[in-house]
Structure 1
Amino acid sequence: MKDGIYFVVFKSGQNEVGNGTVVVKNNAVNGGDFGFTYRGNVDNGRLNLHVSQHDPRAQNVIPGLNEYSMDLDVREIAGGYNLHGNIAGVPNASLAVHAKFIGDLI
């Protein structure tokens, strides 16, 4: 992924289940939102993303799961990326992420 700042939207099926901001630098991805932090690395077109809940009041995509990893395929599109993959250890739990490029790093 190109270095920069991204607005991300998480979807499960057709439903938006959250959004936040991530920063990508040298294939490292770091970000978060009001309830979760996101950290990961991009390698060969795949993002391994670790999500952990920092605010117990925030609703999670998978009820009762406050920490998990996702393996996502990264596909470049105009203005950003589409990512799609599964939550490790949770059968039939897939997520899609749209990452819109919103700014360069300084």
Structure 2
Amino acid sequence: MQFFRSVYLALSVSIIKTLGFVLLSAMYTRHHGQSSDAKNGAFMKNGLYAVNFKSSSQDYGSGVISVINGSVNGGDHGYFYQGHIAVNDSELSGTIQIKQWNPDVPSVFGPIPQFDLSLAGQFEGDNFELQGSVVGQNIRIVGRYLAGLI
């Protein structure tokens, strides 16, 4: 009987250590985090990013986004953005919903108070670049990592 208690205790300790490691890893990623593609080790840091919106002829403006495990939330002086970004190697893709919160700020795409923007692009280090279009107008979004999340 003592033998079985010893084996049970050893297995219990082993399971607790494994679960503890998994939980600590999950908490570290959540706190220090990154959006990742586990298959190939690519990741985009969780954090705050400055974003600039550009066309071939001009800058449209700028804003700030937060990225948390692929979820994107952000805004500027007229609109807020929410969506998801997927990582595959150094490639990014996703859809962001854009909603007007300040009716005094017109959209560069015309009188559209809400729209979805499908984007694709790349990231390298702390920077990314995405391209998309709405109503036949192309947009390029350039992002730069600012800081981790608290």
Whether the TM-score (by the shorter chain) exceeds 0.5 is yes
1:97 aligned partner, one-letter code: I
User: Which structure 1 segments of 5+ residues have no match?
Assistant: none
- Aligned counterparts of 2:125 and 2:85: Cα–Cα separation in 1: 19
- Aligned counterparts of 2:121 and 2:148: Cα–Cα separation in 1: 19
The answer to which structure has the higher helix fraction is 2
Moved over 4 A (4+): none
The answer to which structure has the higher strand fraction is 1
Matched, 1:105 2:145: no
Q: 1:101 Cα shift?
A: 0.4
What is aligned with 2:108? Answer: 61
Q: Residue 47 of structure 1 contacts residue 74 of structure 1 at CA under 8 Å; is this kept in 2?
A: no
Q: 1:62 Cα shift?
A: 1.1
1:48 to 47, 71, 95: 95
What is aligned with 2:76? Answer: 33
What is aligned with 2:133? Answer: 86
Matched, 1:22 2:69: no
Q: 1:78 Cα shift?
A: 4.4
The number of aligned residues is 103
- Aligned counterparts of 1:96 and 1:8: Cα–Cα separation in 2: 10
**RMSD (Å), alpha carbons:** 1.3
User: Which structure 2 segments of 5+ residues have no match?
Assistant: 1-43
Q: 1:43 Cα shift?
A: 2.2
Residue identity (%): 28
Helix, strand or coil at the partner of 2:45: coil
Which structure has the bigger radius of gyration? 2
Helix, strand or coil at the partner of 1:59: coil
Q: State the structure with bigger RCO (CA 8 A, min sep 6), 1 or 2.
A: 1
1:65 aligned partner, one-letter code: I
